[in-house]
Amino acid sequence: MSQRPTNSTSPSRYPNDRFVPRPEDHFTFGLWTVGNPGRDPFGLAVREVMSSVKIVRELAKLGAYGVNLHDEDLIPFGSSTAERDKIVRDFKGALAETGMKVPMATTNLFSQPVFREGAFTSNDAAVRALALQKTMRSIDLGVELGASIYVFWGGREGLETNACKDPRDAVKRFREAINFLCEYSRDSGYDLKFALEAKPNEPRGDIFLPTTGHMLAFIYTLEHPEMVGVNPEVAHEQMSGLDFSHAVGQAIEAGKLFHIDLNGQKPGRYDQDLRFASEDQKGAFFLVKLLEDSRWDGMRHFDSHPYRTEDEQGVWDFAYYSMRSYLILKDKVARFHADPEIKQILATLEKRSTTQVAGVGPTFKYDKKSAAALKAHTFDTTAMASVGYEYERLDQLTTEVLLGVR
């Protein structure tokens, strides 16, 4: 059976309409996403491994802004300095040729067998030291390529039996590593921000610091918390049964959303890293609404990969549709805000939320006089409880915007 012709990223393949991705949309992809050869725990690779230069050129044609990478996505483990320098030179050539950027970099501390028991949190001090060395070198590479965000995903920072490690030691060791690397970055004169990525499990039975909330709490125990934020991923929060937009909302509100991993996930499954908005379109809509309403200016980064069923053409379809779906949802957000009935319900809610009571509110800052007035006030709780909120209609109207009938 011959391969389908790979007309890969020729514009004719995709309708040239309102949802054409452009570099100014700031869509980025990990090299490992479109470069995923389709291997899984039960099957061999189904696609050729593509060079990073080809990935850069093809994504540029699709309208992407940039690519992100783990050290080993570009530089094979154990490469000599000369081999490393040649690879970096060729890669930089492709970036210069296409104008593609590298906004984020990260370290692969999860593939090599030496990290099988963890990296920063390993019970083996030599492994912890190796993880620091590998990360320092990877940070240098990321900065050399222009990265301003450095992500830490602790894929192996976990365990299968609690008999092996006191959880307090794991947190202490992770903090030691991040503090060390914050100092390394500052000492090197790098203007880097670190973004911590949570995941509850897989590949380890349990992973420490399992959700974005845990990471936010952890950040404030660091020596340089101002340098460190979070990189929430859709699938990872959903694996914990959480609403992803709430984790992102808390991070934005704390000024700690430094990066984001967009993808799709079915509830109750392993980490599927599906195409963005291919599942849970409503959740994806509210995420895009939050990012756009808050005018968040970070990269719209996809950490996902094509179905194993796909050939190379399917890989580029996956990439193009990831960006296209984001733009379609961004248009739905505009329709939501412009819808007169939705506006009317939200205006009523806004009025209800901003009335004063006993001369106090709607924002409550303590002072003696207000507290006394509030304590003395008599509430008509029966009347207050009798007025509904019209959320059934609000949600139906929202759903109809998403279904394209409004």
Two structure tokens written together for 272: 């599927």
Two structure tokens written together for 349: 């809610």
- Of residues 291-320, those binding ligand DIG (CB under 6 A): 303
Choose among Mn ion, ligand DIG, none what residue 30 binds, the Cβ cut-off being 5 to 8 Å by kind.
ligand DIG
Residue closer to ligand DIG by CB (options 151, 247) is 151
Which position among 25, 40, 71, 73 bears the catalytic label?
73
Query: From the CB of 262, what's the least distance to ligand DIG, in Å?
Result: 10
Residue closer to ligand DIG by CB (options 21, 30) is 30
Sequence-distant (6+) residues with CB within 8 A of 86 are: none
DSSP string across 71-93: HHHHS-TT--HHHHHHHHHHHHH
Residue closer to ligand DIG by CB (options 233, 312) is 233
- Of residues 303-342, those binding Mn ion (CB under 5 A): 303
Within 10 angstroms of residue 177's Cβ, the number of other Cβ atoms is 21
Residue closer to Mn ion by CB (options 9, 212) is 212
Q: Both ends of the chain: CA-CA distance in Å?
A: 45
Kindly report the backbone phi and psi dihedral angles of residue 201, in degrees, each rounded to the nearest multiple of 5, phi listed first. Answer: -170, 175
Two structure tokens written together for 150: 């450095």
Query: From the CB of 211, what's the least distance to ligand DIG, in Å?
Result: 13
Query: From the CB of 294, what's the least distance to Mn ion, in Å?
Result: 21
Query: At which residue do the structure tokens 């915007």 appear?
Result: 401
Residue of the chain from 30, 66, 118, 306 that contacts ligand DIG (CB under 6 A): 30
Within 10 angstroms of residue 393's Cβ, the number of other Cβ atoms is 13
Radius of gyration (C-alpha) of the chain in whole angstroms: 24
* Residue 157-196 contact track with ligand DIG, rule CB under 6 A, x = bound: ----------------------------------------
**Should residue 157 be labelled a site residue for Mn ion when binding is judged by CB under 5 A?**
no
Q: What is the residue type of 76?
A: P
**Should residue 237 be labelled a site residue for Mn ion when binding is judged by CB under 5 A?**
no
**Should residue 261 be labelled a site residue for ligand DIG when binding is judged by CB under 6 A?**
yes
Two structure tokens written together for 91: 């890669």
Give start and end residues of each alpha helix (H) in 264-367.
Answer: 281-293, 312-338, 340-353
Two structure tokens written together for 406: 């409004």
**Is the preceding omega at residue 225 within 30 degrees of 0, hence cis?**
no
Residue closer to ligand DIG by CB (options 58, 261) is 261
Say whether 301 is catalytic: no
Q: Which one of 85-93, 103-111, 128-136, 260-268 is the stretch in contact with Mn ion (CB under 5 A)? A: 260-268
Q: Are 233 and 261 in contact (CB under 8 A)?
A: yes
Q: Exposure of 358 by Cβ count < 10 A (0-12 exposed, 13-18 middle, 19+ buried)? A: middle
Residue closer to ligand DIG by CB (options 195, 328) is 195
Determine the residue with CB nearest ligand DIG. Answer: 153
Q: Are 47 and 315 in contact (CB under 8 A)?
A: yes
Say whether 337 is catalytic: no
Residue of the chain from 19, 29, 115, 153 that contacts ligand DIG (CB under 6 A): 153
* Residue 266-285 contact track with Mn ion, rule CB under 5 A, x = bound: -----x-x------------
Which candidate, 142, 147, 210, places its Cα nearest to that of 174?
210
Residue of the chain from 104, 196, 235, 329 that contacts Mn ion (CB under 5 A): 235
Two structure tokens written together for 133: 């060395």
Choose among Mn ion, ligand DIG, none what residue 106 binds, the Cβ cut-off being 5 to 8 Å by kind.
ligand DIG
Helices (H) and strands (E) in the chain, counts: 15, 10
* Residue 192-221 contact track with ligand DIG, rule CB under 6 A, x = bound: -----x------------------------
Query: From the CB of 278, what's the least distance to ligand DIG, in Å?
Result: 16
Which position among 25, 40, 70, 317 bears the catalytic label?
70
Sheet of 149-153: strand order equals 228-230, 193-197, 149-153, 104-106, 66-70, 27-30, 300-302, 261-262
Q: What is the 3-state secondary structure (H, E, C) of 297-308?
A: CCCEEECCCCCC
- Of residues 3-32, those binding Mn ion (CB under 5 A): none
- Of residues 321-360, those binding ligand DIG (CB under 6 A): none
Catalog residues that contact ligand DIG under the rule CB under 6 A.
30, 70, 106, 151, 153, 197, 233, 261, 303
Catalytic residues: 70, 73
Chain residues that interact with Mn ion, rule: CB under 5 A = 233, 235, 261, 271, 273, 303
